[in-house]
Chain A
Amino acid sequence: MTKKPMTDSSNHLDKIKKSLSRRNRAEKRFRWYGRMAVFVGLAAVMVLFTDIISKGHGAFRITYVELQVTYDQDMIGVENLTDPAQLALGDWEALSKAALRNEFGDVSGRRDKRKLYGLISSGAGYDLKDRLLANPLLLGETENVWILADDDIDTYYKSWLDGEPYAARMSAKQIQWIDELHAQGKIRLQFNSNLFTRGDSREPEQAGIRGAVMGSLLVLILTLMLSFPIGVSAAIYLEEFAPRNRWTDFIEVNINNLAAVPSIIFGLLGLAIFINFFHVPRSVPIVGGLVLTLMTLPTIIITSRAAIKSVPPSIREAAMGMGASKSQVVLHHVLPLSLPGMLTGAIIGMAQALGESAPLLMIGMVAFIVDIPAGFSDPATVLPVQIFLWADSPERAFIEKTSAAIMVLLSFLIVMNTVAVWLRKRLERRW
Chain B
Amino acid sequence: MTQAAPVTKKKPVSKTTPKPMQNLEITDHQATVGKCFADNAKMTMRNVNVFYDDKQAIHDVSIDIAKNEVIAMIGPSGCGKSTFLRSLNRMNDTVDICRVEGQICMDGEDLYSPKLDVVELRARVGMVFQKPNPFPKSIYENVAYGPKIHGLADTRVDLDEIVENSLRKASLWEEVKERLHQAGTGLSGGQQQRLCIARAIAVSPEVILMDEPCSALDPIATARIEELIEELSQNFTIAIVTHSMQQAARVSHRTAYFHLGRLIEVNPTEQVFTMPEHQLTEAYITGRFG
Residues of A bordering B, CB below 8 Å: 243-244, 312, 314-325, 328, 332-333, 337, 429, 431
Contacts and interface: CB of A to CB of B under 8 A. Distances in A.
B127 A321 contact: yes
A323 B150 contact: yes
B113 interface: no
B196 interface: yes
Interface string B171-208: 00000000000000100000000001001100100000
B163 to A, nearest CB: 14
Find the residue from A312, A320, A325, A328 having the highest chain B CB count within 10 A: A320
A318 B134 contact: yes
A431 B136 contact: yes
A431 B118 CA distance: 28
Interface residues of B, number: 27
B122 A317 contact: no
B149 A315 contact: no
A426 to B, nearest CB: 15
A321 B150 contact: no
A322 B127 CA distance: 8
B244 interface: no
26 contacts: A243-B96, A314-B133, A315-B136, A317-B94, A317-B133, A318-B129, A318-B133, A318-B134, A318-B135, A318-B196, A318-B199, A319-B135, A320-B91, A320-B94, A320-B122, A321-B127, A322-B149, A323-B118, A323-B120, A323-B121, A323-B123, A323-B146, A325-B119, A328-B149, A332-B145, A332-B149
A312 B135 CA distance: 11
A322 B136 contact: no
Interface string B256-267: 000000000000
Contacts of B185: 431
Contacts of A323: 118-123, 146, 149-150, 203
A102 to B, nearest CB: 75
B131 interface: yes
A431 B133 CA distance: 9
A243 B95 CA distance: 11
Nearest to B94: A320
B133 A315 contact: yes
| 3 tightest A-B CB contacts, nearest first | A323-B122, A314-B133, A321-B127
Interface in B98-152: 118-123, 126-127, 129, 131, 133-136, 145-146, 149-150
B83 interface: no
B281 interface: no
Contacts of A312: 133
Contacts of A318: 129, 133-135, 196, 199
Contact of A321 (B89, B131, B136): B89
Contacts of B91: 317, 320-321
Interface of B: 89, 91, 94, 96, 118-123, 126-127, 129, 131, 133-136, 145-146, 149-150, 185, 196, 199-200, 203
Nearest to A244: B96
A325 to B, nearest CB: 6
A325 B120 CA distance: 10
B119 to A, nearest CB: 5
Contacts of A328: 149
Find the residue from A316, A324, A337 having the highest chain B CB count within 10 A: A324
Find the residue from B120, B121, B129 having the highest chain A CB count within 10 A: B129
A258 B118 CA distance: 39
Nearest to B134: A318
B200 A322 contact: yes
A312 B89 CA distance: 21
A333 to B, nearest CB: 6
Nearest to B132: A314
A328 B118 CA distance: 14
B135 A321 contact: no
Contacts of A244: 96
Given A314-B129, A317-B133, A323-B123, 13 more contacts: A314-B131, A314-B133, A318-B196, A320-B94, A321-B91, A321-B200, A322-B123, A322-B126, A322-B146, A322-B149, A323-B203, A328-B149, A332-B149
A118 to B, nearest CB: 68
Nearest to A312: B133
A264 to B, nearest CB: 41
Contacts of A333: 135
Contacts of B200: 321-322
B23 to A, nearest CB: 38
A106 to B, nearest CB: 82
A321 B149 CA distance: 12
A183 B33 CA distance: 114
A431 B187 CA distance: 11
Find the residue from A315, A317, A318, A429 having the highest chain B CB count within 10 A: A318
A243 B97 CA distance: 11
Contacts of A324: 119, 145, 149
A312 B136 CA distance: 11
A429 B135 CA distance: 12
A314 B185 CA distance: 13
